[in-house]
Amino acid sequence: MRGLDHKISVVAGAAPGNIGAATALRLASEGATVVAADLDLAAAEAVAEEIRAAGGRAVAGQVDIGDEGSFAKLLNKAARDLGGVDHLFNVAADLSADTIGVDSTNDITTLPLAAWQRTIDVTLTGYMYGIRHALPLMRARGGGSIVNTMSAAVWMAEPIRAAYSAAKAGVAALTRHTARIAGREGVRCNAVAPGTVLTASLLRTLPEAEQARQLAEIASPRLGRPEDVAAAVAFLFSDDGGWVNGQVISVDGGLTMRG
Ligand SMILES: NC(=O)c1ccc[n+]([C@@H]2O[C@H](COP(=O)([O-])OP(=O)(O)OC[C@H]3O[C@@H](n4cnc5c(N)ncnc54)[C@H](O)[C@@H]3O)[C@@H](O)[C@H]2O)c1
């Protein structure tokens, strides 16, 4: 893809086998220098090491995206050490048992407030922190590109995961707002909305019968791979995506298509 060579890309939420890692690997293979960051530093380091072993350029960073100071520090350090920030991929989400596990077994009449709040704090407010602190760095560079991660859950009217789908729906509004305020300065902001993507952790935890049920619902012969989302993000960061702004791109095998 055009225009990714020697760009500096921050991927916030990269651990082996996940969507962030596949995107970090893809961007590095296109010539970008990648900051692979995660709450779990050892996991981020493993991603950076995989990139370097493949001949790419990458460093690891630790970040808690739900903590404004932590996210600001990651981005400012990347700018200082590497010369600037061109891309931010907001991809982390709190998918822990205490958060999405609880959200997935309740509706809003029974959902404990702590699970709601944690989801909003990380999966929505965390993205706002990233955008807020990436924008000045991108403006200083004369442009940039941000991609946020939503979910097909936003449109599925699920009887569970109210916090998750509400947070992800909020990300759509944040995406369009950012595109509106920064587009004329050359900073684009888009979102990807994946359907079921078989990450290393989902391959371990999603029962085969459930995989088959979900496959039967989509207009594709297979469920998603992390690389499917990585390709869409690489396009949105690239010059080939240079006139795409404020959009949500569904990468879901046709799950949410409408006539
Ligand atoms: N896999 C899917 O089927 C699917 C479908 C739709 C949307 N998504 C979205 O795609 C994104 C990536 O999903 P995934 O399946 O690769 O998830 P994952 O759980 O494998 O990866 C998410 C990463 O975020 C990190 N993280 C969690 N809390 C954090 C915090 N506070 N600060 C920094 N990092 C933190 C985790 O350590 C983990 O490495 C998420 O936003 C998710 O909601 C995934």
In a domain, 119, yes or no: yes
Q: What is the DSSP letter of 67?
A: S
**Residue 124 maps to which CATH number?**
3.40.50.720
Region of residue 17 (left: phi > 0; alpha: psi -120 to 50; beta: else): left
Q: State which residues form the domain around 43.
A: 8-250
94 pLDDT exceeds 80? yes
In a domain, 255, yes or no: no
* Cα–Cα distance measured from residue 199 to residue 36, given in angstroms and rounded to the nearest whole number: 17
Domains contained in the chain, number: 1
Q: How far is the CA of 259 from the centre of ligand 1 (A)?
A: 30
15 pLDDT exceeds 90? yes
The whole-number pLDDT of residue 73 equals 98
pLDDT digits (tens, 9 = 90+) for 95-145: 999 999 999 999 999 999 999 999 999 999 999 999 999 999 999 999 999
pLDDT digits (tens, 9 = 90+) for 66-78: 999 999 999 999 9
In a domain, 111, yes or no: yes
The whole-number pLDDT of residue 258 equals 79
Quote the percentage of the chain above a pLDDT of 90: 99
The whole-number pLDDT of residue 91 equals 98
Q: Considering only CA atoms, which residue is closest to atom 43 of ligand 1?
A: 93
In a domain, 166, yes or no: yes
In a domain, 258, yes or no: no
Q: Considering only CA atoms, which residue is closest to atom 7 of ligand 1?
A: 151
List all residues whose CB is within 6 A of at least one atom of ligand 1.
Answer: 13, 15, 18-20, 38-40, 43, 63-66, 91-95, 122, 149, 151, 194, 196-197, 199, 201-202
User: Quick check: 230 and 91 in contact, CB under 8 A?
Assistant: no
In a domain, 256, yes or no: no
In a domain, 36, yes or no: yes
Region of residue 3 (left: phi > 0; alpha: psi -120 to 50; beta: else): left
In a domain, 257, yes or no: no
The whole-number pLDDT of residue 259 equals 60
